[in-house]
Chain A
Amino acid sequence: DGGITQSPKYLFRKEGQNVTLSCEQNLNHDAMYWYRQDPGQGLRLIYYSQIVNDFQKGDIAEGYSVSREKKESFPLTVTSAQKNPTAFYLCASSRDRAGVAGGEQFFGPGTRLTVL
């Protein structure tokens, strides 16, 4: 079955530690995205990538880093510079060529990060 997987589902981190959230897709999509979701708020874009080896900052990139070395993988690192990292993190992908697929995004199940 095609889809997006995120791991782990729950992640606990001590203050001052970096952690990496995994996101893998087998949909052959060009574009991938990372969002942060806080209670009562919508989705805020952290980073996105429209092609391998290229990515752009979203609205709240400070304290986060990404890489896109393979088409199917887009890991997110939450660094110690992120002041309030406790949140629900969602990864998504899309074909990117909106004229073909209409730009809809396919989401993974999410990772809930808690800083202890």
Chain B
Amino acid sequence: AQSVTQLDSQVPVFEEAPVELRCNYSSSVSVYLFWYVQYPNQGLQLLLKYLSGSTLVKGINGFEAEFNKSQTSFHLRKPSVHISDTAEYFCAVSAMNRGKSTFGDGTTLTVKP
């Protein structure tokens, strides 16, 4: 079994400031990790994923995430946010060799001018 905890339900931040959205996971087997973004009344889009290799993963829209196996974390970061980054962000984990994923409860990122 696996689980995902997103540590912040809401993150308000000013435009051009840096942001970090935190995600911890637990699993008894090796996993793949994902961050998805959801804009209002839309489906989810993949931001980035960690499968193997370098622990620093770069995604779309200037986001990046770092996989930390010892701390079982996969935090999402962006050095300078824009108003258009306002959205819901979901962290997800899937066991290797299985497509079924477990999602966190989401973090609402609100970027203020």
Residues of A within 8 A of B (CB): 4, 6, 30-31, 33, 40-43, 45, 48, 50, 88, 90, 92, 94-99, 102-110, 112
Q: Are A105 and B45 in contact (CB under 8 A)?
A: no
Q: Chain B contacts of A45 at CB under 8 A?
A: 100
Contact assessment for A107 and B45 in the assembled complex, using a CB-CB cutoff below 8 Å: yes
B23–chain A nearest beta-carbon distance, Å: 12
Q: Given A42-B104, A45-B100, A92-B44, 9 other A-B contacts at CB below 8 A? A: A40-B9, A48-B100, A95-B99, A98-B94, A103-B100, A105-B46, A107-B43, A110-B42, A112-B41
B96 CB contact (under 8 Å) in A95, A98, A107 = A98
Chain A nearest Cβ from B55, distance in angstroms: 15
Whether the pair B32, A103 counts as a contact (CB closer than 8 A) is yes
Residues 33 to 90 of chain B near chain A (Cβ within 8 Å)? 34, 36, 41-46, 49, 51, 90
Question: Which residues of B from 9 to 42 have beta carbons under 8 Å from A?
Answer: 9, 32, 34, 36, 41-42
A-chain residues with CB within 8 Å of residue B106 when the two chains form the complex: 41-42
- A-B pair count, CB < 8 Å, reads 72
| Interface residue ranges, B against A (CB under 8 Å) | 9, 32, 34, 36, 41-46, 49, 51, 90, 92, 94-101, 103-106
Q: Tell me which residues across on chain A come within 8 A of B100, comparing CB atoms.
A: 31, 33, 45, 48, 103
- Which partner residue on chain B sits nearest A110 by CB separation? B43
CB neighbours of B51 from chain A (8 A): 102
Max chain B C-beta neighbours (<10 A), residue from A98, A106, A110: A98
Are B103 and A43 in contact, CB atoms less than 8 angstroms apart?
A: yes
Contacts of B42 in A (CB 8 A): 109-110
Choose one: A40, A50, A110; the contact of B41 (CB below 8 Å). A110
